[in-house]
Amino acid sequence: MLNSPDLLTDSPEGRGTASGVRQTGRGRTRGQAKGQQTRSAIVEAALGLASHVGLEGLSIGAVAELMQMSKSGVFAHFGSREELQISVVREYHQHFEEEVFFPAVAGPRGLPRLRAMFANWMKRTSIEIEAGCIYISGAVEFDDRPGPVRDALASSVKTWLSAMNRAVVLAKKEGHLRADTDEQQLTFEIHGLILALHYEARFLKTPGSVERALAGFERIVKEHQTPDAPPAPVTQFAAQPTKPSQRP
């Protein structure tokens, strides 16, 4: 499990890079810079579309219409629908890094970082209850379609799960989690809580799903923590409502 070479690695400064998912290079000359800008805008629009219709729902035509560009104009930037889909996966990966991973690794190692990762992941999943997570929809769309889009998607997800795994290892090293904690087991169970949150809140519209995911996480922590573990901040998730407008 998680044997992907693509690891989100956190440097001492607390900033990571996703070596496995190539970054889109940013402008060299002015002409290139302008081209990159347009390309980025197209990818951003395509990501928005994919969050609603799925990666498989993406087409050069639909993205061109959204961008008010010609199909050949969009085509010139990607060359194929597949390349557009892969670019969307990379873009999503970057968003995920920026919203979930970087803020967490900027904080202290150990259980606080693991909690921050889970809370940010939950927050991202809760936002996506409106739009859908391409890691989840993409897994269904591409699970039996081998090829570069599937590979990019699986690589990106594995990178993230490896980062979670690493956070568990560090929490053990910090003495917050017991030394006999099975990190792959913990990562599996935490992943399950996020998948259940997405399924039950988004598809079944079950109230209380966010609270249940959080309670599940704290139950897992409680079972594996040492007496040295820092306690959960009481208002951790409640203090960061993702849809404040819907709260009473």
Residue of 125, 132, 149, 164 interacting with a copy of itself (CB under 8 A): 132
In the bound complex, what is the minimum distance in angstroms from residue 48's beta carbon to a copy of itself? 14
DSSP helix/strand/coil, 139: helix
Residue of 85, 125, 137, 162 interacting with a copy of itself (CB under 8 A): 137
Q: How far from chain centre, in Å, is Cα 23?
A: 16
Q: What is the C-alpha separation between 173 and 167, in angstroms, rounded?
A: 10
Q: What is the C-alpha separation between 243 and 126, in angstroms, rounded?
A: 8
* Using rule CB under 8 A, residue 54 touches a copy of itself: yes
In the bound complex, what is the minimum distance in angstroms from residue 55's beta carbon to a copy of itself? 11
DSSP helix/strand/coil, 40: helix
* DSSP letter assigned to residue 129: T
* Using rule CB under 8 A, residue 207 touches a copy of itself: yes
Q: What is the C-alpha separation between 96 and 119, in angstroms, rounded?
A: 13
In the bound complex, what is the minimum distance in angstroms from residue 116's beta carbon to a copy of itself? 20
Which is nearer to a copy of itself, 1 or 106 (by Cβ)? 1
Q: How far from chain centre, in Å, is Cα 102?
A: 11
* Using rule CB under 8 A, residue 210 touches a copy of itself: no
Residue of 22, 26, 34, 52 interacting with a copy of itself (CB under 8 A): 52
* Using rule CB under 8 A, residue 203 touches a copy of itself: yes
* Using rule CB under 8 A, residue 142 touches a copy of itself: yes
Q: Which two tokens stand for residue 148?
A: 């570069």
* Using rule CB under 8 A, residue 156 touches a copy of itself: no
Which is nearer to a copy of itself, 74 or 157 (by Cβ)? 157
Q: Where are the alpha helices (DSSP H) in the chain?
A: 30-53, 60-67, 71-78, 81-96, 102-105, 111-127, 134-142, 148-173, 183-197, 209-224
Q: How far from chain centre, in Å, is Cα 54?
A: 16
In angstroms, what CA-CA distances link 155 with 7, 20, 79, 151, 152? 9, 7, 22, 6, 5
In the bound complex, what is the minimum distance in angstroms from residue 213's beta carbon to a copy of itself? 8
Could you give the string, one character per residue 219-248, with x where binding to a copy of itself holds by CB under 8 A and - elsewhere? Answer: x---x-------------------------
* Using rule CB under 8 A, residue 192 touches a copy of itself: yes
Residue of 17, 19, 206, 240 interacting with a copy of itself (CB under 8 A): 206
Q: At a CB cut-off of 8 Å and minimum separation 6, what does 222 contact?
A: none
Interface positions with a copy of itself (CB under 8 A): 1-2, 52, 54, 132, 136-137, 139-144, 154, 157-158, 161, 184-185, 188-189, 191-197, 199-200, 202-204, 206-209, 212-213, 215-216, 219, 223
